[in-house]
Structure 1
Amino acid sequence: MTSPPAPPAVRLHGLTHCIDDRLLFDGLALEVGRGRSLAILGPSGCGKSTLLSVLLGLTSPDAGIVEIAGAEITGMSPSRRARHRRDHMGMVFQFGELLPELSPMENVALAGLLAGLSRKQATERARDLLGRLGVPLAARTTAQLSGGERQRTAVARGIVNRPAVLLADEPTGALDEHNRESVADLLFSLPAEYDCALVVVTHDRQVARRADRRLLLSDGSMLPDEPMEAVR
């Protein structure tokens, strides 16, 4: 007897949300499975960052269903949503959002501790991830790192809890061309390596072209993005 298929890591159905009488989402629906990546494009102000906030459970939509790692988070209490987010989600921000007074090791290990790892587990995972991502372990503060190294540290922090879902908000927007390419390559390699779903919001089609699927958020709806051959 075959096992039923695993639920998608991310599932939205009928997602509707307004801000100040402006309709951001009009019945959005999408799914992203483990091991897959999705890039969401769209102009500033179209709701890309708000959508990530909804996926994180920080913003409650006006209507619709949001499922993360097989659990519907829209009906959860705030404390239960926070636990679910801690256990199943990771986040990479545009500017890293690292604690500048801490070392790269401390930044990543702290995220592991907050996710419920033991001190030994958090330290070992931080050291392993930073080493694999090419971040100098001897750096005493993140201020000693280059922009690319800081963003790689942010990626390590986002996956230290081995999340089912990794979200990234304009993760290469503050980087030069060389670091943009290397960080983008790293991000889009993670779904296969860590069996997670990756959702990236970006305005950069050259970054988005690495995703398994691309959608354009426009006028409250998700549309297939134009083929990359048309924008090269």
Structure 2
Amino acid sequence: MWGVSAVTESVLRIEGLEHTIAGRVLFRSLELDLRAGESVAITGPSGSGKSTLLSCVMGLVQPQGGGAVCVAEADVLRLRGKALARHRSSRIGMVFQFGELLPELSPLDNVALAALLAGVGRKEAYARAGELLGELGVPEAETSEELSGGERQRTAVARALINSPALLLADEPTGALDSETRERVADVLFGMPARHGCGLLVVTHDPAVAGRADRVLALADGF
């Protein structure tokens, strides 16, 4: 089993995950325990299943061989429909490689929208969005297109945090950035577990980024 932190609260527990694609075993009895306040980086060659693992954690992929993927004590593989959507919205935050912001909206609107969709009142959503963007040093702008690459990624981190998730996921979050911006975004991202009390699971090809995590785990041959 991949190691366990001394921090007490488990925010992600994967047990016996089995998944096969086109006759190729992607996961074989894969296990992981990630705790609040802890960061884990997943590395491995292309095709080893890193992004598929994140999809399983989000409940977007149902592994063919079974297993359990518990986020904040709920097995997302057994949730369906609205229950899964509610749990994902309230307990999981996701940062994508290219930010995936709505370009026509301001940074504030992009972040607040995630809270509004989760049922948070407008005043509270915008207040919280403004606090997070200020904390992460994102400038005001009429549209997110006006932001630099690093500013867009920091906006994406704020959006992922707006609903106070137990688990923060990041899929190649610095892959599209230059080296200087990469370091700044990595500083922000790996500071989140201690600052916000969440767990952080990062998929990356970059050994410098992976090295910032509390644990670095290599995914290969199904393990």
TM-score band (shorter)?
over 0.9
Aligned AA (2:38): R
Q: Does the residue aligned with 1:143 lie in a helix, a strand or coil?
A: helix
Corresponding residue for 2:216?
A: 214
**Are 1:40 and 1:200, in contact at CA under 8 Å, matched by a contact in 2?**
yes
Deviation at 1:7, TM superposition (A): 4.7
Q: Does the residue aligned with 1:59 lie in a helix, a strand or coil?
A: coil
TM-score (norm 2): 0.94
Deviation at 1:154, TM superposition (A): 0.5
Q: How many residues align?
A: 216
Q: 1:74 aligns with which of 67, 73, 77?
A: 77
TM-score (norm 1): 0.91
- Distance in 1, Cα, partners of 2:75 & 2:8: 15
**Are 1:7 and 1:70, in contact at CA under 8 Å, matched by a contact in 2?**
no
Identity %: 59
- Give the root-mean-square deviation of aligned CA atoms: 1.1
Deviation at 1:20, TM superposition (A): 1.4
Corresponding residue for 2:131?
A: 128
Corresponding residue for 2:61?
A: 59
Corresponding residue for 1:224?
A: none
1:108-158 deviation line (CA, Å, top 9, x unaligned): 000111122110111001111111111112x10111000100110001000
Corresponding residue for 1:39?
A: 41
- Distance in 1, Cα, partners of 2:139 & 2:47: 37
Deviation at 1:6, TM superposition (A): 5.5
Aligned AA (1:182): R
Return structure 1 stretches of 4+ with deviation > 4 angstroms: none
Deviation at 1:78, TM superposition (A): 2.7
- Distance in 1, Cα, partners of 2:182 & 2:176: 8
Question: What are the within-5 Å matches in structure 2 for residues 23-38 of structure 1?
Answer: 23-38=25-40
Corresponding residue for 1:185?
A: 187
- Distance in 2, Cα, partners of 1:117 & 1:39: 31
Q: 1:20 aligns with which of 14, 19, 22?
A: 22
